[in-house]
Copies of this chain bind each other. A is one copy, B any other.
Amino acid sequence: MAKDTQFVSQIADIERDFPQWYTDVVLKTKLVDYGPVKGTMVIRPYGYAIWENIQRELDARFRETGCENAYFPLLIPMSYMTKEAEHVEGFAPEVAVVTHAGGEKLAEPLCIRPTSETIIGSMYSKWIQSYRDLPVVMNQWCNVMRWEKTTRPFLRTSEFLWQEGHSVHASEEEAMARTLQMLRVYEEFARDCLSMPVLTGRKTEKEKFAGAVATFGMEAMMHDGKSLQAGTTHYLGQNFSKSFDIRFLDSDGSLKYGYTTSFGVSTRLIGAIIMTHGDQRGLVLPPVVAPVQAVIVPIASKKEGVTEACRALKERLARTGIRVKLDDSDNSPGWKFNEWEMKGVPVRIELGPRDLEGGKMLVCRRDTLEKSEIFLDAAEEGISALLKQIAVQMYEAAAARMRKRIVGAQTAEQLLNGVNGGNFVRAGWCGCRECEDKVKEFAQATARVLAEENDAQTCVVCGKKAAHTVIFARAY
């Protein structure tokens, strides 16, 4: 127990200093490290494995919707960025610029993609001729760069990994349907793979993507009650098709501009997982994306048969498709318990001479720390079922926490008290930018999404008639 205490003390207190807890956890579990250039991160194998699992799950869902993967160039001519007025205004201050290459000064500076609407739009313009070519729905998994002043691993770094989907449609309706479809894909993915409840909805004009007609977001509640924008989908109308001349000959013989969308999630999701589920002992990883789903710790491993039994169990579980690790290192069982708890492995299996005698193994859930026994004969079914159960119950627990922490407010004071108490605040808003800005000033909170139903009477700031009910929160 002394060891345990010592160990836990290495991670800052999750309630008293959440930012430091986060930094301690991401570094000590070797998810990530700081890169040599300010604001960059190195995603270490344990962190990258989470990203690979996210990719695999999301990619399969994208394909089901008829989305194809492709790869577009990293460097975008600066003149492309300026073709869509709002877009350049939003992104120009954050771009990294290549001015020299191959030992020479470039005729036109190139920017490293902060997002690829412009360059993909220019290719779509070339590829799309007829309504028969539509819809086009492509996605790329790639790196992007946005030069940020304040950075934190996974949450905000100058370079990050993401996927960006881009589609073109013949009609506004179809494009809007795709925008909402992808929002649903993200929401279901968050629930089923990350055990993470989210609020989805339309963003305000102030919070929308630079160049979009409408942006929809999914917001997740972090341990400290702040919101994290975990994914967005954008209905771009004809803004980019007009800037990049994406036109098609329609079935009626007329030439029309297409309607485009884009949608993306990034390595930020890893930060969302950490801050949704983590506890004082460290990470609590959702089973579907955990790099290691079950770890076997041998007890009294020098006793006859223990090592062999652990190895055989590992083989059996691996064959079932469970990502299992046998920790047969020289460290003590207690040390291993701490280590794998900190690393958030969903299930720990303890196997020693007494368990073998009884034909059982002891399993300990990371999320609830509950222990139970499973018959060795039924190890595959038992562990598979337990992992599924953990995924569902982690979601339910997080959803219950979130529900409790969404509070209503009729007045500015109530709103402030709400966010000060670590809550999302549901409140009426007249719809004007001035009131939105005031919320930011007095409560450091922003409009995360518009609620689907407007059940508020008056604006929480000015008291005029409420045009929308808004979820306000402080945000990452």
User: Which A residues fall within an 8 A CB radius of B?
Assistant: 33, 35-37, 40-45, 48-49, 51-52, 68-77, 80, 92-103, 109-110, 112, 119, 122-123, 126-127, 138, 142-143, 145, 147-149, 158-159, 161
Listed by A's residue number, 24 A-B pairs whose Cβ atoms lie within 8 Å are A33-B123, A33-B126, A33-B127, A35-B73, A35-B123, A37-B75, A40-B75, A42-B73, A45-B69, A48-B68, A48-B70, A52-B69, A74-B112, A75-B96, A75-B145, A96-B98, A96-B100, A98-B98, A98-B99, A98-B112, A99-B99, A101-B147, A103-B147, A143-B143
**Chain B residue at minimal CB-CB distance from A329:** B132
Q: How far is the CB of A32 from chain B (nearest CB, A)?
A: 10
Contacting pair B119 A73 (CB below 8 A):
no
State A73–B33 Cα separation when bound (angstroms): 11
Contacting pair B99 A71 (CB below 8 A):
no
State A110–B100 Cα separation when bound (angstroms): 11
**Apart from A48-B70, A97-B99, 15 more pairs, CB < 8 Å:** A36-B73, A36-B77, A37-B77, A40-B73, A42-B70, A42-B123, A43-B71, A45-B70, A71-B161, A75-B96, A75-B159, A94-B102, A99-B100, A101-B147, A142-B143
Residues of chain B with a CB closer than 8 A to A148's CB: 102
Residues of chain B with a CB closer than 8 A to A33's CB: 123, 126-127
Q: How far is the CB of A226 from chain B (nearest CB, A)?
A: 25
Residues of chain B with a CB closer than 8 A to A76's CB: 36-37
Contact (A110, B72) CB under 8 Å given A95-B101, A100-B99, A149-B102: no
Contacting pair A45 B112 (CB below 8 A):
no
Residues of chain B with a CB closer than 8 A to A95's CB: 101-102
Contacting pair B45 A68 (CB below 8 A):
yes
State A28–B76 Cα separation when bound (angstroms): 25
**Chain B residue at minimal CB-CB distance from A107:** B38
Contacting pair A159 B96 (CB below 8 A):
no
**Chain B residue at minimal CB-CB distance from A45:** B68
Contact (A74, B142) CB under 8 Å given A33-B126, A45-B69, A110-B37: no
Residues of chain B with a CB closer than 8 A to A80's CB: 36
State A40–B158 Cα separation when bound (angstroms): 23
Residues of chain B with a CB closer than 8 A to A44's CB: 70
Chain B CB within 10 Å, residue with most, of A97, A98, A122 = A98
Residues of chain B with a CB closer than 8 A to A158's CB: 75, 101
Q: How far is the CB of A20 from chain B (nearest CB, A)?
A: 21
State A95–B103 Cα separation when bound (angstroms): 7
State A238–B72 Cα separation when bound (angstroms): 37
State A51–B147 Cα separation when bound (angstroms): 30
State A36–B75 Cα separation when bound (angstroms): 9
Q: How far is the CB of A88 from chain B (nearest CB, A)?
A: 13
